[in-house]
Each structure stands twice: as structure tokens, then as C-alpha cells.
Structure 1
Amino acid sequence: MNERVLRVLEYDKIRGHVVRLASSSLGKARAQELAPSADLAEVEAGQQLTEEGVTVYRLRGLIPLGGIHDNRSLIRRAALGGMLSAQEMLDTADTIMAGRRLKKFLQDTNEEQSLPGMMQLAEMLPELKQLEDDIRQVVDDNGVVRDTASADLRKIRGEMRAQQARIKEKLESILRTPAYQKMLQDPIITQRNERYCVPVKVEYRGSFDGIVHDQSASGSTLFIEPASVVRLANALKELQIKEDREVQRILHQLSAQVGQHADELQDGQDALAELDFIFAKTAYARELRAVRPQMNDQGIVKVKRARHPLIDPSVVVPSDLRLGEDFILLVITGPNTGGKTVTLKTFGLLTLMAMSGLHVPTDENSVLSTFDEVFADIGDEQSIEQSLSTFSSHMTNIVKILDRVDFRSLVLFDELGAGTDPTEGAALAMSILDFLKERGVRTVATTHYSELKGYAYNEPNAINASVEFDVQSLRPTYRLLIGVPGRSNAFAISERLGLRREIIELAQSRLTTEDVAVDELIRKLEQNQHIANQEREQAEVLRRDLEALMDEFDKEKESFYQQKDRLMERAEEEARKAVQKAEKDAAEIVEELRRIAAEERGQIKEHRLIELRKELEGKAPKLKREAKKPKAMPSDRPLQTGDHVAVVHLGQKGHILEIKGNQVLVQIGMIKTKVKKDQLELLPPEKEPTRTIVGRKNVEAKRVSLELDLRGANVEEGIYAIDKRIDDALLGGLSTIHVIHGKGTGALRTGVQEYLRTHRQVKSFRFGVEGEGGNGVTVVTLK
């Protein structure tokens, strides 16, 4: 990914937050390498590891990451036969212990919920308990080699302590001697250059026999090693040399052990760095309240309630962003300071974050795509040194972008064509967008040129959008409205700020009729979309409430059936016991009858006895258990999307919207619900829908198949009729309708298609072909 776009979109700040949240120098170094990837498999792997980190935090809370050190250089040195210091040995032991503790922690967590990616990393963490124990037997917690590291070292240090005691005893006797007391600046023993000295006044230098090792800053005191302790100190120095040699021998031997395990220790370092990095990404996701996006490499983006990650969460306004499915070019229009640039940066930055394996601050089920390259021309980057104007600077960058883009690129333009004559700038902007659109490049461009509104209306692969502006408060709401071009609001803002009414009226009179009509159309579209959004939100709440009630109903019904079964089983058991007793009694009676018959010489026949026994057995009660749930009648063919069906356990009719395995999404009136296949019974298709002709003054219904005639209606009347017809078509199991709007000025056609573009039940739409009405008809395919 080119460094310029990372800088412009402030990606380095995102990386800085991840670095900040890493616990060790290993993790921070790994986080510094964070970068977007165009490889979908690599991105998915990164997203999976971040999600596993979120799972660990959710299940276990605090992660044991203490005691980790960056030992990579010392491991390489040990592998080459070098000697490690005692402190480096201690760092090695601490890191082995930290890795073992983290491995056990992840293994325990994996038993609760599978962590396949992290377990692969955990397997790289070496146990090496014996090496850790060997190091701790030699080095104490302060990084000092223990006396017990070897017998020779223990003996040498014992002799050193005895020699030091003799030296101090000799010095203390000097301090107590009256002849010396007047020569000393202070009655203390000190060290200079690792030699024991006493502070002597400079004027007594000739009277005090010994070696001068230092002098005070004032020059009044000399630090002298008395001649009587020089021999003792030399003997101590010889012992210190022996100690150093023995310590080095011990450390060399221990370093060789570390070198033997260099590969395992290095793998462990890599795994610890990656795990610390993963948990840093996880901590950042928790800070942002971010979620894992669904990734693809097809250039499809559908983001719900996206928030810019670098803006205070208490003030940032979420926006819904779409690109790449119904259209590949998004033109955001509107006044300056309206939030267009923030929206553009949000789009680009979330894409880079997702490509880096980071979770993004959006709602669940948001969709983002990988791109081979992301290009951006944002902000005023004119170069004074190169004597370039704002326009020249932007155009230089745009030229470089156009030379490198392809259909696997994402391009972001801020104020495209600005900085020059408006007419020429708008024409140039449209030509640039044409160039990109023809090559299939996903493009988002902001502009304040009104000409680009009409451009986006007339292009099938483009759409207008705007950032909502509150005229009452004179502030942008920063909410993106896709499908609605921006309005300047100049007159409304000027009036709110106190400009004379007569001046505003004079300015309005200078506008063309077409300008006024377009502004009024945009106003109505904004109003309709606002109402539609509110209704969709209300419908979503109702749908969730209904699903919750249905789930509760199913649970209660299941509980009822289970209780009923238990009661039936108990009654059947009691009945069986009663029958068994009756059969026993009957058998005794039959046996008695046989005995009597034998005594009376066969007057009672055997077959009669058998008949009586069968009659007794037949009197045993048979209890029939009802099914737990009503079952649908089997159909003569598999269920298909669009089928008219009965939902037997609800006693309702609807039509199938989607089938996934055994789960079926069914539309019942205005409600969608998921049911199992065995609860659906195939019904005959409903009768053919009627054709409705909508006029400006009246509404008339006639029997015509699949068509809606809007000629003579205004945009609002047409939208109302379309919405009703779509509901009727969905209930009737139809997948296509024909909307007749005529050609005329094109206002009705444009308004209809903009409404269809944002309708949640519309899969796609197109103009009619020859024989269908051409541009006077829009053919709508429903989901």
C-alpha cells in the first residue's frame, strides 16, 4: 500500500494506538509492522486471530503477559557461542516462564471455546523447564550469580569476605588511633577505584603513609589507601580476578545450554510477539467497540453505522456506506464544512483497518472488501517549493493515480475538480469519473459542483449522496443520505443569519425554473427518505419483538408438549399395571376353570377358554400420544424461493424469500420470520395481481398483469403507489413488476428510480427493452 494514502488517511495514528496497547517490547515491535494486505486469505486469518483475542477477553478477562523480554539478539549470540550476562540469563528464564504460563492459560481457555489460530501460536512456546531451573539455580532474582553456582565460587567468595573483614578491621584501627584522628577529614572508610581509602586533610599528605587514589572537588581532602592495607587489598584484588574467571566459566557453560535451544527460544519469541500483538489489536477493538467485518475481494462494501475511529465516540455521528454492488461510483455533494471529507476518510480508513486484520467501529454484519491499492486525493497539499497551485497540486496527484488504477482499486477524491473555473472543473471531474467508471474502479468523490448531481442521476453505475444539514441549527448532522444529492441551503442559511427578505426573494427570482424544481425535488426526497428510515427502524423493532415473542411461544409450547407426554406416560404406566393385574386374575380364573373341567370330564372346551382369554387381553387400554408439533402435508416437489406457503404452527400464509438448509425466511404480511421446512405446506399460487393506474386526482384499479401505471402522477403519489404494489407483489409471490412512468421531463422516472435504489425489497431494476416500453418503463426485480 502506498505510503501517501496511509499518511493522508491518518493510518499511522491507528497503528500508534495498537503499539500503545502492546504489553512488551516484542509486541510493540510487531505492532509497528502493522500494514494493510490485499490478500483476502491473509486478511481473514488476521481477522480470525483478532476475534479469538476478543473471545479470550470475554471469557477470561486479564491476559498474563508479564515477564516477556525481547531476547532475540542474545539468543543469536548464544547460538554463535557467545557468553550471556547474568541479567540476560535472568531475562531468558523470565521469558520461558512467561511463555509457559501464557501457554497454559490459552490451553485452558481453548477447552471452553475453540481458539485454533492462537493454539497454533501457543504450540510454538517452548516448555524448557529444565533450562529455566538451571538458570535460576545459578542467577538470583537481582541478576547476580549465586555463591552456590559452583564449589570453587563459594570458596573464593568466602575468602574474599574474610579478606574484606581484615582490611576493614585494619582501617578501623587507624581511625581509632589518636595520632591519625587529627589528620582525617572524617572518621570514615570509603572506596575509590575499588580500593579502600580514608579521607586525609591535604596538609597532612607528607605525614600519612599510603597511596593517593582521589582528591575532593575543593582540593582540601585526599583519599589515601594506607600503606598498611595495600598488601591486604592486593590479595583481595587477586581473589576478585579469580571470582571473575569462575563467574565467566559458569556463564559460558550456561550460555552454551541456551545456544543448544536457540531455535526453540527464537520460535517462542516470534509466538510471544504475535500473541502480544493480537491482544493489542483486541484491546483496541474493545476501546472502539468494534466488530469483525465480513470480508470479500469483489469490491463490495456495505457498512452499517460506521464511525470514524479517531473522532471522540461521544460526538461522532454514524453513517451507512455502500459501494460496489448496485453502483461503483458514489458522488457526495453538498456545501463546505458539511462533513463530506470526514465521510470520505471514514470510508478509506475503515477499509485499511479491515485489510490490516483490525476490527472496525461499525454495527454487526458490515461488509468490507480488500483492494490491491487504495488511492486518495484529500486536502490541500499544494507545494510552495514547487510553485504549484492548489489545482496543479491536486491534478499532479490525480495523474499519478489514473496511471496506476485498475478494477481492483479503490479511489477517494475530495472536492474533485476544485481550484479552477467551475464550468471547466465540473467538466473535467465528470471526464475523470467516466475514465474510472469504464475501468470498473470503485470510486467515492466529494464535490460542491451541482453539475455532478445530474451526472450521477444519468449514470446507471453511479449514485448521488449527501451529508444531512440542519438548517435550524445551521450545523451539519454528518449523517450520510445515499440516493439524495446535497442542497446548498444558501437561501435558508442566509435568512436564518438575518439577511433581508427582499434580497433573498430577488436572488430566488434569478434562479431558473429547472433549478427551483430540482431543489424542491431534492427537498422532498430528503423528507421521504427520512420518513422511510424512521419506518424501517420501527419495523425492525417490531420484527425483533415478534421474533422474541415467537421464540418464547415455541419454548412454552415445547414445555407444554413435554409435560403432556410425561402425564401420558404416567397414565399409560398406571393403566398397564391395572391390565397386568387383571390378566393375572383372569389367568387364575381360567386355570380354575380348567381344573373344574378336568374334574367334570371336558364339559368346558379348550377353544372357548382361549377365546375368553383373548377377550380379556383386548380390554387393555391403548393410549395414543399426539405429535409435539403440527406437521405440514408433504409436497410433490421441493420448496423454492417465491412459493406461496402456509406456516402451519402459526396458522398464517406467506411466501418464501430465502432458503438456507432447513431454515426458510418467510414473508407474512409486513413481517419476516425464520421457520423450519417441516412447518411449511406448499399452497397453490395466488391469483394474478391487478394493474393500478394512478392519476394526480384519483386512483383506479383494473385487471392487468404485473403493471403499475404512474403516468400523470407526481413523485410522492408514485412512491406511495410503488410501495403498495411491492407489498402486494411480495405477498402474491411475484418477483417482477413493470412501472410505467413515461418519458416526459424525466422527473418522475428519476424520482421513482432513486426510491427503488434504496428500497430494501428491490434486488435490481432496469429500463424496459424493445417491446417493453423502453425508457418509459422501469422493470423491477424483487428479492
Structure 2
Amino acid sequence: HRASLEESLAAAGELDAVIARAALGAAWGARVPAVGEQGVVRLDGATHPLLASAAATGASALAGGVSAVVGNRLELGGEGCPQGLVLTGPNGGGKSVALKTVGLAALLVRCAVPVPCSPARDGEGEGGGGAEGGAGVGGGGRCGGGGDGAAMAVAASSPRVDFFSAVVSDLAEAQDVSAGTSSYSAHVRSCARALEAAGAHGASALVLLDEPGASTEPAEGAAVAQALIEELLARGARLVATTHASPLKLLALRDTRLQVAAMQRRRVDRRNGAGAAALPSYAILVGAVGGSYALDAAAREGLPEALLARARGLLPGAEGDADDGDAEAAGAG
């Protein structure tokens, strides 16, 4: 009976894996998306799996004093939707988490695991009180237009994450002293792999670039990053990038293959009547361009006020990121 027992054991293992995937999805409040082969991502209320786990377990230690996990609308590919998404906004505002959320959604689908997201809610993306940019949690309009209204509404609220044959990322510090690899050369190698994947798989390649062009002279780095993004788009890849670089923000504004978005900030009254502070809300504002607010981030992390005052004095204008901040407010909607 050995053969029968081995066959039964294998079947039991497969069944256990299916049950485990379903249980994990239920714990996350996840949904099973439609899966195609056109390089489409369409998620409402998408959250990073680790944040979904924190919400499921009632964890209270969420970043920045946020009391609830913020889900965002994320869309790539498909009719009327961009090939790429460029995320801008403050340091610590959630750009990298949103980028990783897209990548993890693609990998979860490859593993047949439900994706943490939620159905569209009435009024989602409309103005929220006390927040810069004038959009609520999960803000931003849907892409696409035309066609039957009822059919589009059903499609828009139904999650979809297509099967990506290649998921390539350039995310973390990758310096290797023993191999003689600098931070920038490691980034370039990741970019070369992304180009290779895009050439081989086209729309079935998903590329994630966290601050491309960093770790070198800013102007040259931004130029290389822009040329890279243009080539990835030309090869048909789907792309999510985060950036603080003005040339890449401008590229996203003028290239119709790209959608620019900003991470929203919320105004919170300081204690003892010391005025208001702007803190990340972790919501995405589609169509807005966000400033970096490096001085605000430095203040939150405890740098001395005297040092920050000196830094403000070194800036060309009266306050850093003033122009970007205006663009963020004007770009919403």
C-alpha cells in the first residue's frame, strides 16, 4: 500500500496548502482577484500584507500614530489606464510601502494567495477634512472612460491582478564591499535586469523602482533614471517608481503613459496650542505632485531646532519645498 499512502499524503499536502492560503486570505480580509495576461492591476483599498496582518491582530503600534490601516486605489494597465505610476511626496509618507504593495500583490497571485484589498466604497476619493490636497483615504479618480456605465462600475469594484511572468525590483541598499559593488552600481545592475525582463516579457513584466537615480550626483542620476523609465515604457513593461527628483516628476506630468500621484499629508493640532503640524496620512492622491518636506521629516526624527533653522537659511527660498507644496495642493482632483 506504499504507493497509495504516498499518493494520499501528497493530496493531503495540497489540500492543506489550499486551506492555509484561504485562511491567510480570510485573516487579512483579502479577496481573490481576477487574473489575466494583459499586465493589468486594479485594486481598491489595497494594503501591504504586513499592515493587513497588524490590522487583523489588533496591533496598536502603527506608524505615525495612525489608528487604522489606510487602503489605497492602485491601477496599472488596461484601457485608459497608465503603464506606469510615479509616486511623489514626503519622506516617510508611504511611497515605498505603496510600491511594495503592488509588487507583493503580483507575487501573491503567482502563489495563489488572496490579495489584501477591499471593495470600492461610495464616496471613496472625495474630499476629507483636515487633509492637504483635498482628497480622502484611498483618494484619486479611476482611469478609463466610456462604455456601459453599469458594466464599468462592476469592473471597477472587482479586483484584478494579472499574472506577471517577471517581477523585478530595485528597492534596498545593495552595497557589497567584498564584491567591490557601490550602492549606485548595484542599482544600475538591477536596472539592467529590469530592461532584460521588459524586453523578454513586455506587458507581463512588472518593474518596481524605489528612488531611481539615487546614490549618485543628482542631475546625472535623474537623467539616467528618466532614460531608463522611458525605455521600460517603450518595451511595454508595467512600472511603479518613487521619486523626489523634479525631472522625474515633470516626466510623469507630461508623458501620457505615466500617472503621477502624491502621498497625502494631514494637519494635526500640536499640544499646548503650539499650532498645527503636517503628518503623513498614507493616502494616495492621483494627479497630484508632492513635495519632499525633508525638514519636517528631520524635525520629527529629533534633529535640533537650531540645526534646522540653519538648514532653512541655506535654502534658496524662504522655506524648503514651497513650490512642491503648492503643486501638491493644486494638483489634487
Mapped to 1, the partners of 2:9 and 2:82 lie a distance apart of 47
Q: Who is 2:239 aligned against?
A: 443
Mapped to 1, the partners of 2:171 and 2:197 lie a distance apart of 17
Mapped to 2, the partners of 1:490 and 1:294 lie a distance apart of 40
Structure with larger Rg: 1
Q: Who is 2:113 aligned against?
A: 358
- 1:501 deviates by 8.4
Would you say the 8 A contact 2:168–2:193 is kept in 1? no
**Which of the numbers 22, 27, 46 marks the counterpart of 1:287?**
27
Q: Who is 1:329 aligned against?
A: 84
1:245-324 correspondence runs (5 A): 258=1, 262=3, 264-311=4-51, 312-313=54-55, 314=59, 315=62, 316-324=69-77
Mapped to 1, the partners of 2:322 and 2:279 lie a distance apart of 23
Structure 1 runs of 4+ aligned residues shifted over 6 Å read 491-497, 499-503
Mapped to 1, the partners of 2:22 and 2:297 lie a distance apart of 45
Q: Who is 1:465 aligned against?
A: 261
1:142-291 correspondence runs (5 A): 258=1, 262=3, 264-291=4-31
Would you say the 8 A contact 1:383–1:389 is kept in 2? yes
Mapped to 2, the partners of 1:393 and 1:503 lie a distance apart of 31
1:544-623 correspondence runs (5 A): none
Mapped to 1, the partners of 2:260 and 2:283 lie a distance apart of 14
**Which of the numbers 410, 427, 440 marks the counterpart of 2:223?**
427
- 1:491 deviates by 6.6
- 1:397 deviates by 2.1
For structure 1, which runs of at least 5 residues remain unmatched after alignment?
Answer: 1-257, 530-783
**Which of the numbers 268, 279, 284 marks the counterpart of 1:475?**
279
Mapped to 2, the partners of 1:445 and 1:322 lie a distance apart of 13
Post-superposition CA distance 1:592-635 (Å, at most 9, x none): xxxxxxxxxxxxxxxxxxxxxxxxxxxxxxxxxxxxxxxxxxxx
> Secondary structure at the residue paired with 2:50?
coil
Mapped to 2, the partners of 1:297 and 1:284 lie a distance apart of 25
> Secondary structure at the residue paired with 1:430?
helix
> Secondary structure at the residue paired with 2:116?
coil
> Secondary structure at the residue paired with 1:380?
coil
**Which of the numbers 99, 106, 111 marks the counterpart of 1:344?**
99
- 1:387 deviates by 1.9
**Which of the numbers 147, 170, 178 marks the counterpart of 1:377?**
170
Assess, with a 3 A threshold, how the Cα gap between structure 1 residues 319 and 272 changes in structure 2: closer, same or farther. same
Matched letter for residue 392 of structure 1 = S
Would you say the 8 A contact 1:296–1:369 is kept in 2? yes
Post-superposition CA distance 1:441-495 (Å, at most 9, x none): 1011111112211111110111111222335445322222222122123577789
Mapped to 2, the partners of 1:346 and 1:479 lie a distance apart of 13
Number of residue equivalences? 265
Would you say the 8 A contact 1:306–1:318 is kept in 2? yes
Would you say the 8 A contact 1:471–1:489 is kept in 2? no
Assess, with a 3 A threshold, how the Cα gap between structure 1 residues 288 and 298 changes in structure 2: closer, same or farther. same
Q: Who is 1:159 aligned against?
A: none
Would you say the 8 A contact 1:471–1:492 is kept in 2? no
Q: Who is 2:194 aligned against?
A: 401
Matched letter for residue 300 of structure 1 = V
Which structure shows the bigger proportion of residues in helix conformation?
Answer: 1
Assess, with a 3 A threshold, how the Cα gap between structure 1 residues 516 and 280 changes in structure 2: closer, same or farther. closer
Assess, with a 3 A threshold, how the Cα gap between structure 1 residues 508 and 398 changes in structure 2: closer, same or farther. closer
TM-score, normalization: structure 2? 0.71
> Secondary structure at the residue paired with 1:374?
strand
- 1:269 deviates by 2.5
- 1:393 deviates by 1.3
> Secondary structure at the residue paired with 2:289?
coil
**Identical residues among aligned pairs (%):** 32
- 1:369 deviates by 1.0
Mapped to 1, the partners of 2:311 and 2:91 lie a distance apart of 23
